[in-house]
Structure 1
Amino acid sequence: MHKAQLRVFFLVLFTALLIGGCSSIPKEQRDPRDPWQPYNRAMFRFNTDFDNAFFKPAAQGYQAITPEPVNHGITNFFNNVADVTSAVNNVLQFKLSRAGTDVGRVLVNTTVGLVGFIDVATNMGIPSYKEDFGQTLGYWGFGDGPYFVMPILGPSSVRDTFGFAGDVLIDPFFSLQKDEIYWGFVVLRAIDTRAGLLAAGDLVDEAALDRYAFVRDAYLQRRRNLVHDGNPPADQDDDLFWDEDVIDQ
């Protein structure tokens, strides 16, 4: 897949989003945050099956064969790259002090930390913020919009789906000229991230009666908290593009 084909991918996502809006469920089962629940549940099942068949085994194999220091170093490397994206988003949010902290983390970890494989910045007490473009859109007043499960990528919202597209464009790896190297980094980062979530996934399976609802509620609560820097307002209606009366029509 060439990077130009990302445009097709995002078009497919947007089309799926529109199609999902055509589904309906009984009014008593509706959640104003999740009006496309039939589509979302179907995509959640597909993603779960895909993960169990391919992604989870790959992550387990990666974790089994990768020595812990190397595994930890790779995670640190990708976190260092994420600090670059975070710095851009903090600038877009006019959080210049945080942007400066992100830049400081990148400089320290890239030099003293051997291109980010050692997280020297955290050991020095330099905080990590990890702002993304979805949070930037939220900062500028864009509500979450309906909950939306993306193919393969998982839980999202209308705002965060477009935010994901923005993060792809400002990701440092996106400037790589060779597609093979770019997609190699993408796959490695995805597997490394999934490996870090293996234990959490087992806990969800044990704790949740309705795994879909558990993941949805946890995702939306976490994103709301992140957008408002840990201090979300009491009224959640501001996070919707439209209210429940519109959804009921």
Structure 2
Amino acid sequence: MAVALTTLVDEADRYLGVAKISDYCPNGLQVEGRPQVRRIVSGVTASQALLDAAVDAHADVVLVHHGYFWKNEDPRIVGMKQRRLKTLLNNDISLLAYHLPLDVHPEVGNNVQLARMLGLVVEGPLEPDNPRSVGLVGSLDTPLTPVDFKRRIQTTLGREPLMIESPAVIRRIAWCTGGAQGYIDQAVMAGVDAYLTGEVSEPTVHSARENGLSFFAAGHHATERYGVQALGDYLAKRFAVEHLFIDCPNPA
């Protein structure tokens, strides 16, 4: 079956509440392709590797978390950006991208989906007084030592995380996918035993050690693979179209 591109985009925008969220890039349809959609290919980032794989898969839409046209980026269509856009336009493929709306969504969001993968029970937002809070706070389905939780992350995500270990068993935890190491201060204030994100910065290590908090950096890409898959599955079921997730390996 096929669905009109405009219908697909309108539903994705509505479902994710795009109009309510201010972001660093345009969310929704970023590049317009053919008017009918039969197959969606999803991935984390609209890299050249993903676009080439989407062409091979005969995709009508590429659905990603990390798209294009970020705030303060060079607006010229040259080099890498030119090649990527040329691939989409030459093959009449649409690009649909959702950044913060896909991080915060309570059903298909990156943070909720990561919780399901790792056995984390959501209790609430990391910043209760911030209506735009991205991170979450919750508990493990069973208390684990930091080493055991590291092992669970590695088994589940297929990537060994960087770990700063504290002596405490992990019962309560805060997490935020992607490049959210700066939220470690909010995690400390939340009184949790551990904080999990994708990336790490030099000051993060000191914050974890000096506050007695276990910290895990499991990879930006690795922690943000699941929201876009869930969104793609939702749209595929909603409109009876095909959906294929393609994971382009990325160690970062």
Class of the TM-score when normalised by the shorter of the 2 chains: under 0.3
Larger relative helix fraction: 1
TM-score (norm 1): 0.24
Larger relative strand fraction: 2
